[in-house]
Structure 1
Amino acid sequence: MSTPSAPDRRPSLPTRLARLGFGDAAGAERLLAEAGPAVTAELLDDLGTTPDPDLALRGLLPLLTGAERAGEAAALATALATEPAVRERLLAVLGVSSALADHLARHPSHWRVLRARKDMSEKDAEDEPPDGPEPRREFLEAVGADPDAGEPVARDASTETLGALRVAYRKHLLMLAGRDLTGELDVAEVAATLADLASAALTAGLAIARAQVPEHGTCRLAVIGMGKCGGRELNYVSDVDVIFVAEARDGHPEDAALRAATRLAAATMRACSATTPEGALWEVDAALRPEGKAGPLVRTLASHRAYYERWAKTWEFQALLKARPVAGDAELGARYAETIGPIVWRAAEGESFVEDVQAMRRRVEADLNQRNAEAARQLKLGPGGLRDVEFAVQLLQLVHGRSDESLRAADTLSALAALSRGGYVGRDDAAALASAYRFLRRVEHLVQLHRLRRTHMVPDDPAGLRRLGRALGLRTDPVGEFTALWRRHAREVRRLHEKLFYRPLLLAVARLPEEEARLTPDAARARLEALGYRDPAGALRHIQALTAGVSRRAAIQRTLLPVMLGWFADAPDPDAGLLGFRQVSDALGTTPWYLRLLRDDVTVAERMACVLGSSRYATDLLLRAPEAVAMLGRASELRPRPAPALRAEALAAVRRHTPDPDSPAATAASVSAEDAVTAVRAVRRRELFRVAVADLLGRLDPVEVGEALTDIAAVTLDAALRAAIGKIEVERRGPLPTAVAIVAMGRFGGHELGYGSDADLMFVHDPEPGADERDAASAAHAVAEEIRRLLALPAPDPPLRIDPDLRPEGKAGPLVRSLASYAAYYARWSEPWESQALLRADPLVGDAGLRERFRAVIDPVRWPEDGVGDDAVRQIRRLKARMESERLPRGVDRRLHLKLGPGGLSDVEWVAQLLQLRHAHHVPELRTTRTLAALDAAVGARLLDPEDAAELAEAWRLATRIRSAIVLVRGRPSDLLPTEHHHERSAVAHVLGYPSAGDLLEDYRRHARRARTVVERTFYG
């Protein structure tokens, strides 16, 4: 009998390929069949170790085919079999970079640059420098220039010459990638080598340019590397930022020499940036030169010095931190560095340094806080990205490098190490940030190597993420592990970005364990000043007071403050923010929920910092009622409360203090009324804070703010009226013989009150049947006077000033009139302006029946049956013109007056009111006291063009927002756009969301100008 053979237990090829990590096993099997014996079993196993085995195999086969054609097949096969370095480097490159695989397919002999020195022949090893061929020499030889000549000139500027430079450059890139991807080089060494390759390519580009510019001998030209090129931390694919400096050679006119130098510079840029059949190198970008793209491409050294000494902005000095001569005339480049270097470090002493630094921080924050889906994948600009690290380091260099020359390193990692050695950054923090930075740069290199394209975006496809994870040595779950690692580093960078600036400030002033290096007091003050604190010494005192000691409160503050100091720095007034925080913390320091709330809910702390650093008005309210901090934690608490709920709370407070009508002591009644109003003021204080915070956080529009403030004022007056009636009834030993109501007028009646508005109003009473009219009038007058007295009592809150001057006969008329007296007056004596004033009359407070009866009296006056005649219209127009000329304060720019200036609030409101006087009787929708509602109704009735109404409404909204912002910032009202105090002007612009005060002014003038054009046409005819 024959013995049965053992079953073949070897896995099938597709199964083996899948186990090796091939994603497309069937496709790989087809490719291997085409390759034949060239891909050995051992080589196949090694392919499975690459970041992307499918990509590596697809790149290997064209290389093998090309090597066959070029006579390199035998040597390549031998090297793959006997030289581990070649095999490891080549497969690592092929498993990451399809672009370099394509290069190898076109130039198969270039695999030789991947050989280790020990694997070369003795002759090859002698001819080759330790780190490979010197790129400058090779690049110059590639373009036909003599590397040993002082100013080498290429043979021509043909496509062939440009292509030769690109082939030589890609060969060096291949050599670098092989060593990079196998872990032989640190990320900093890779970046520095890339910068050196760029320098050598610029040198060859300049040689090509000399072939195009015959008069190149009239000038000397130096190329200054900027950005990552200057700092020797370049990416695989990146724009190369440069600045050109030139001077005339002896005996040559400067103008002619500069023209030649400009042609040379432009030709150099083209030689490097142009696309050829061999691809492109990278874009050469000269936009960082003085005056940017608007300035000349080439300047003399003297011109550069003059510009930086007189005109440069702080961000330009930040860019110059990395300036380094990289090509061209070495001696001129060295003089440039010697001349410009010291100017950089004097920049931080300039007057605008703090403002410029704040603007830079805001620009970076705007980049970091992008909310689109793409931003989450950004390695450079995303939250916790490379820009976050680089900006933090550069800003700290600018702040402290003035006095500490050891910080003047060009590259990020060296600068970070110097900051750590100098005590400006904690050692552990510096190490963690450097680790995160190296990781992010490594990932950036990998995503750029794939297709040799300029990108900072992490791929969103599983295959791309898997390739990245495996390239980083992650094998168990490459996608999940990479994503978790990346997010962890990004969070760490974001946390350390805040900690770099602010944690050392605590160590500078608090008696804490010496776990980290401390800033000196001078260095701490310098850092605070650079971050926008105008009184850094005072800020340090506040920090010390908040964090000193070993109490739980101090420990929590030490956790909170590094983050909050950053939020204060982002606000218009960091000093006020920190002071307010200390005051609130002192007031609530023993309250257990306060610090716990700030520690556990970052939203509360951030909102609190915004409010305290932006608004004196809101801060003063909070200091009077610090427990209101609690409302910052819930979005529902940052909406105005409904008027009925407010009224119920206020009247309940009044009832608790209502005097007994049978009390014999008038003094007790007076005290009770004052207590009642004091209780109501506490409600008002809290509600004003609620509205102010919601406004500052952008949760309310101007109409909602006006409605909310009107409700608060009406409720306060209602409560004061109840308290006053209670007091007078006690004094009279009986109920009032008359009903009393309060009619809101002006902006109060229009439900458009601002934070600093007076409450225009009128008092009306209506005697009870059978009551003595004189007694009723006396009682009503006593109530009105008591309301005025109660509301005028000294109090720390923003006052609610009442103004009864819009009553008939103004100040000369009685403070209180009966309903019958109002009816008689309006029937006999009313002027057109009084009909106009009644358009905004709204009986909001007091006896409900009387309020309705008053409306019945005034409706025919303000909405006359036949409208107003031409004489009345002319009178109204004359009154408006006289008001514009007489009421504007002397010496002010009328264009900046928000109320009476052209296109201001008054302009818009008078247009609406004239339309109401003319048409409200026939158009019921016009019967409203609100300005914007009247404009909408006029559009609906085709009395006003929709575009005109839109222009008027936008101007009104903007003027109203600015008025509110002025009060919020200053704590007191003004109708003028602030122009004298730069800090105040900038604060108002910041609160309104404008990048600068100039942007706010330009926007207001544009809207006001358009609105005035509409007013001229629709009001004056």
Structure 2
Amino acid sequence: LERILAASSEAASLIDGWLQQPAALSGVAQLCATSQLLADILREDAPAFSRQLSSGPARRSAEELLAGGRAATSVPGGHAARLDGLRLFKRRELLRIAARDILRVASFGELVEEISDLAGAGLQVALELCWEAVPVPELPAQVGAPDEWWREFAVIAMGKLGARELNYSSDVDLLFVHEPPRAPNAEAPEVVGRYFTRLSQALIDAVGALTGDGGLFRVDLRLRPEGGAGALSRTLEAYATYWESWAAPWERQALIKASGVAGSAGLAARFVRLAREFVYGKRIDTTGLADIKSVKHRIEASARRSGGERNVKLGPGGIRDIEFTVQLLQLIFGAQDERIRKRSTLGALRALGAAGYLSATEHQTLASAYVFLRTLEHQLQLMHGLSLRELPADERALGKLARRLEFPPDESTPPADLLLAEFRRHTANARGLFGKLFAEMLEERDESDLRARSLVLTAESAEADLSALAEFGLRDASRSLGALRRLAHGTVTAPLPPSVAERFADLAPRVLRAAARTPDPDASVLNFERFCALIGSPGALYSILAEEPEVIDMLVRVAGCSASLSGILAAHPEYFDMLMDPGLMTAVRSVGKLTGELAVRLDDARDAPARLATIARFRRRELLRVGVRDLMGDADVETTIIELSALAEVCLRGVYDTLAPEVAGLSAEALPFVVVGMGKLAGQELHYNSDLDVMFVWTDGPPPFENRQSLYSRLAGEILSRVAADGAGAGPPLKIDARLRPEGQSGPLARSVASCREYYDHRAETWERLALIRTRLVAGSPAAWEAFRAVTEPFLWSRALAPEEVAAVAHVKQRIERERARTEGGRIDVKLGVGGISDIEFCVQLLQLAHGPADPSLRVPSTLGGLRALARAGRFASPADAQALEAAYLFLRRVECRLQLVHAWDESTVDPDPASFGRLARLLGDRRAAEGGSADDLAEELRCHRHQVRNIYQQTVQQLVGRDSSPDAAQGG
């Protein structure tokens, strides 16, 4: 108080004010007794602050702090003078906040939020000053950079600032991210990169420099990729690449609290979204937990050397133990539970308690310990503004600290002893919970099988050992065992440590048992080795597989059953994480869900090529997901074909929505244009390699383009060519077929509704009525779709097929079967051959056209839906016929889909030999596959289905044509 009065030119009036306002005097006295730092700041303008104390210092919002910081820099002088103004503002605001703390008018939560908001305001204003001070380079010609491209820079807060729980004397942990303009000129990225590096360094200097007015905040950039050796600022793409390929497990933990604090809000939001995908995209494995725990041990060892158990932050049961406990629970359960993805420690504790991951007692124990320890840490830091974390060893200093924390004097127990007792109680509770939860997280599971372990771990094997492997169906046991040993021990050039070998040896029995259930056990083991090599990090991978053994079954089955899926996974090992996600792998994904996810992925695509590439990647990923669900028996065939159809529809709509603005200059919604789905796309019954049959139709409505026909044909052509040019990478290409349009390949790609009306009224052939049964709006204008339907519905349903028309259709089918069915060498074509899928489709469509004109309930675009509607209406010769057709259709479609998974997508035929049927039985997951005889059973089941289907088809055609027609026409061949 004496120094404050000595430094004030208004000492007399200051004393008068204190006498008139005892609350102000009491507040000043408490501040001076608590903190030398605050007393020093108070001396700068004691009268003004005393007036604040008389009425109680009020809380200021983040917006008010930002406005105050900007006003403080509106001073004469250059960059340095303005930064001095910002530093002075920070000191005075810190005094106000601390006064609210010391006078007990702010809760702990309010306090740390306001300190954090002050830091955020300071960083934003400092960045604005640096934007003005750092020269912006002129980019090379032809870059096409947007105005103010340099503002695509964001400051990301980590640690306590990111969580809005900053200390009085915390470092601010920061990352910098920038987004460069699109730059076809090769020099531009270097110019842009150098600019953002200079801007980052200028901001570090502005915030961290110490002057006569102190500094703003100490900046810590060690959490950035590659630590102190890493670039100061990186692009979003560079962060993503680093996280996917190089990041250590503790870096996932560090990113839990990441949030934007200054600069471009949009860029910061994209960074945080990307970071959260990295943090919560998969559950952390035991190896990752062990890595984080080793980091924690190193920190604790350092703390023991410099203070030990009295370290409030780093000692046993200290603040860091509580933060680790919370963050590890978030890493383990946050992948499946969004409720616990909170940045702040207290917020996360509340969420973990509410979600049941902590009991009410555990939550209360950790929360009360955290608030106590953080409050204690604040008091340690307030005295001199230093980052102190250890309880004073001096008894007198400890007593003063206890009194500042309001531990009451007691005749029998000094305040210092009360403080120590409370400190030990909280830290013991927190440490106990930390140890208990960590032990549960790192619990090991033993699934070893002695024989398989010894085979994998030993260097050589006797013939008896190799013959033992034959029990698992391995024909080339020596080669497969070599693969297993490489998985355990590595190679000569890249050996694996013994601990990793032991870990894989525990998994080997499960691998072998899973391989035995596949059509080719040797291929399963060899491809499994290839997958593991592509995924990398054997130690971490084997830990994941130990925790999720069903993933072994899945990977081995994919490896041994499906060249198609193996190709995708081999080309994109990053999809492995998706296969580990039970939420994704068990759920049926509708058009709505797929549309929403694709829209999120398209947010960052800047132009049509980028959007089309994003759609292709999305399709490959989803195709793998659907295929694995199918192969593992997690989805029946009806669900599989519906999901494949939904995926194709969403991707096709995404292509149309992308290309419509590029070609027509208007959004897809604004064009009177429709992509009509036909065939299996319309019926939502696609297989893995189906063409997407479509028709492009437009109406005469607005906008009034000069040459609509040319424009819409060009749009249709762009859809076809751009999709074909994109290819599919490791998956089947997205093939669009527009040949079912009027006049086929000789007609225009896109037709007006009026042109369609003229064609269907006067020139259409009978088979086109069958084709039009299966039509559905897939993309484009609902109004144009309704206009098209108004044309096709009368053509379809105004009358039943005449007998001669049925005969003509039967002849068309006979020709298709003769020319296109692949039956050479006795092969069985389950799609186009005798009694195949095509028989069922024609049968259903003929009956729909026979009875649909009188019964609208039969006008269904899908084969299964039409079959079931006809059965309900009693339109089959008997209910048994309907049941036989439905059972055969589901069986044949299941065989077709599985054949495509095995044979790189393009296959629908079965070899007639027993070995082929045996492999098909295992591919279908037939439980009898390991018992022998299953091949004969399966062959007989297929024969019966085909025989029944052909008989029902022939009877249906005969009934509709009439008994006097030729036998060939009636039978369709």
TM-score, with structure 1 as normaliser = 0.46
Bigger CA radius of gyration: 1
Comparing both chains, which one has the higher relative contact order based on Cα–Cα distances under 8 Å and sequence gaps of 6 or more? Answer: 2
**TM-score, with length taken from structure 2:** 0.48
